[in-house]
């Protein structure tokens, strides 16, 4: 029955967000209430007019797209336009468990812009914001594999998740990030490490196992950064 179908859809992670409209000859309030209780978004009784069904489908598709856009905005950093800490926490947990199931290695890298406080103090926060935007886009563009993930962790710090990758593969990607940022040649006369904007990266590569937590993983990567 339609009730059985919607139960199956709502029980699966991949299909639970699909909008379901009932078109049915069952017209009692009890049946309608049951459909909505199971997660239906609309209820159309027979006989129906196809143009009305089409119009309602369009309305619900617009609502779905609006919800997706809203969810996307809540996951983006407002300054840089890349993913934020909230989305990072979600993705780290997701990829951690995925690599645990597949027994594959995962790399977590923490990135910090060197002497950024001195940059803000001397060039101004407006220039600092522009530099953060440039660095964020460059890091995001350099991490090219579809499964890789880059986010602004906070302040001038960024985080990257590289699932199912070797130590050597991680090193190639992260070194490319470091070189590309320096290659931008953004002047930083007040840096303690370089005369241009540069970054430091700390990374940890592990195969997730029971007994090792995401929190420990993150802490180790942060220690590597410093």
**C-alpha 7, offset from chain centre:** 28
Residues 135-159, mean pLDDT to the nearest whole number:
94
Residue 151: name the closest of 216, 208, 226, 95 by CA: 95
CA diameter of the chain: 76
For position 36, what pLDDT does the model report? 87
Distance CA 198, CA 184 (A): 9
Taking the mean position of all CA atoms in its chain, how far away is CA 184? 26
* pLDDT at 67 (0 to 100): 85
Q: List pLDDT tens digits, range 44-64.
A: 888 888 998 999 999 999 998
Whether 131 shows a pLDDT value over 90: the answer reads: yes
Whether residue 127 is predicted with pLDDT greater than 90 in this model: the reply is: yes
What is the arithmetic mean of pLDDT over 69-89? 90
What pLDDT is stored for residue 66 in this prediction?
Answer: 87
Residue 89 confidence (pLDDT) above 90: yes
pLDDT, averaged across the chain: 92
Residues involved in catalysis? 156
> At residue 73, does pLDDT exceed 80?
no
């Amino acid at each position: 029955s339609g009730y059985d179908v919607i139960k199956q859809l709502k029980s699966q992670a991949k299909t639970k967000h699909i909008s379901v409209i009932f078109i049915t000859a069952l017209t009692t309030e009890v049946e309608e209430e049951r459909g909505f209780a199971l997660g239906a978004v609309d209820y159309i009784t027979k006989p129906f007019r196809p143009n009305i069904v089409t119009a309602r489908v369009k309305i619900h598709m617009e609502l779905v797209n609006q919800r997706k856009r809203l969810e996307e905005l809540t996951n983006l950093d407002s300054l840089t336009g890349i993913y934020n800490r909230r989305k990072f926490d979600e993705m780290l947990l997701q990829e951690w468990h995925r690599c645990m199931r597949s027994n594959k290695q995962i790399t977590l890298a923490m990135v910090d812009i060197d002497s950024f406080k001195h940059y803000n103090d001397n060039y101004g926060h407006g220039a600092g914001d522009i530099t953060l935007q440039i660095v964020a886009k460059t890091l995001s563009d350099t991490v090219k594999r579809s499964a890789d993930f880059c986010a602004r962790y906070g302040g001038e710090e960024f985080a990257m998740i590289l699932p199912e990758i070797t130590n050597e593969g991680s090193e190639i990607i992260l070194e490319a990030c470091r070189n590309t940022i320096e290659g931008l040649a953004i002047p930083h006369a007040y840096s303690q490490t370089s005369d241009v904007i540069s970054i430091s990266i700390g990374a940890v590569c592990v195969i997730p196992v029971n007994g090792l937590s995401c929190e420990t993983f993150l802490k180790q990567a942060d220690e590597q950064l410093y």
